[in-house]
Amino acid sequence: MSISELKREVAQCLRDFAWGQWGQMGVLAATDRSDHWAADPEALLLLSFEVGRGDPRLFDEVLDWTVLNERLISVQRLRNLARDDDDRALVEAVLGWVARRKRRARLTAKVPPSASQPVPFFRGSEVAVTDPDPAFLAQGFLKPNLDSRGRSQAPDLRLPINFAFRMRGLLGVGARAEVARVLVTSAAPRLDIQVVAASTAYAKRNVQEALNALRASGAVRSSTIGNEQRYEVSPEAWARLLAIDQLPLHVDWPQIFSPFRRILRWLEDPDNEALSEYMRGSESRQLLVELAPDLRFAGFDVDVAGPTGADYWDHFAATLQRLPLP
């Protein structure tokens, strides 16, 4: 399988997934999906910003949703989830775009404008951008200057996928809502602070403060096992409080989406198309080695060993095809 074949397959899978998720969250999109997990809004936004570079309609609809629902979004968390400069440029471009439509101090760009030559934002686009959007241009992207279409809606809080917004309605946009979401939906009976911090994408200090507050209110219990403090909730009590028969499932979306963003960028990089067979195997091995900790945290069984030399590429492609993007 060539890089371009794998790229087409992965990109299509990610586009279908993103449309299916947003269709349940208020974006104008037809979907027959009815997922039983709780979405992670900021993680899904960040993934969609990257995936949307290959699907302008998806990107513009997600922007439309973001500007309508910006009060439901944690800007701090969106920034926390950005792992590298590519992520940060996407986040700041979108926040800058939203800030021009909704005047909020929290939306002010935190990353200095890009000094590099701007590149087309949408991949594969050959249309000249004569009137680039200033927020995107500041981050080095040439994107047509289009206004919000105003077609999105607020998320339907009755759907399991929108559970995060329900928790935010109850506890406010911040660490408490995310900590409660993770504890309430996790299949593990109790979690330590490192796991909660990784799952919520908040710093341990913020998570500790949130856990202390929730514990003081009686919403969360803690116990000490060995030297470690573990935290738990009563799912039944939370289900009664929220009048839900079945609580949604927890998925570690940040640890799934971050690898997929990097994989997509790697597959899209034209320099990789020119690699020798050995270097393609070596580079793909290096990528998988770097992504494995996140994927394992999210519960995927990733074998990084594989065959030697150039043959590793087939192992890499097969591993990607087996990754169960739900």
Partner 1 sequence: MVGGSGLLAIGAVERATRDVDVVALRNADGLRNPDPLPAALQAARERVARDFSLPPKLYALVDQGPGKHEEDLRSLGPTVNELRAAARWSRSQDPSEGFEQILRQTLSHLGVDDVDLGT
Kindly tell me which of 244 and 302 has the beta carbon lying closer to partner 1.
Answer: 302
CA 124 to chain centre: 23
- Tokens (6 digits) for 55: 């699907």
CB of 250 to partner 1, least distance (A): 35
| Residue 318 beta carbon to partner 1: minimum distance, rounded to whole angstroms | 17
Instruction: Please report how close the Cβ of residue 282 comes to partner 1 at its closest, in angstroms.
Output: 5
Q: How far is the CB of 314 from partner 1 (least distance, A)?
A: 14
The residues near 306 (Cβ < 8 Å, ≥ 6 apart) are 285, 288, 312, 315, 316, 319
CB of 309 to partner 1, least distance (A): 6
In this complex, which beta carbon is closest to partner 1, that of residue 87 or of residue 283? 283
146 vs 279 by CB, closer to partner 1: 279
Single-letter amino acid, residue 110: K
Residue 161 makes CB contacts below 8 A (sequence gap 6+) with 21, 24, 25, 35, 37, 38, 39, 248
Instruction: Give the residue with the Cβ less far from partner 1, 121 or 312.
Output: 312
Give whole-number Cα distances, 287 to 4, 20, 115, 292, 317, in Å: 17, 27, 27, 9, 12
Smallest gap from residue 296 Cβ to partner 1 (A): 19
Residue listed under structure tokens 């440029």? 89
Q: Which two tokens stand for residue 64?
A: 């439309």
Q: Which is nearer to partner 1, 237 or 279 (CB)?
A: 279
Pick between residue 43 and residue 287 the one whose CB is nearest to partner 1.
287
Toward partner 1, which CB reaches closer, 21 or 284? 284
Q: What residues line the site for partner 1 (CB under 8 A)?
A: 278, 281-282, 285-286, 308-309, 312
CB burial of residue 302 (10 Å; 0-12, 13-18, 19+): middle
Q: Sort 166 into a burial class: Cβ within 10 Å, 0-12 / 13-18 / 19+.
A: buried
d(CA 66, CA 72) in angstroms, rounded, equals 9
> Whole-angstrom Cα distance, residue 106 to residue 92?
11
In whole angstroms, the minimum distance from the beta carbon of 312 to partner 1 comes to 7
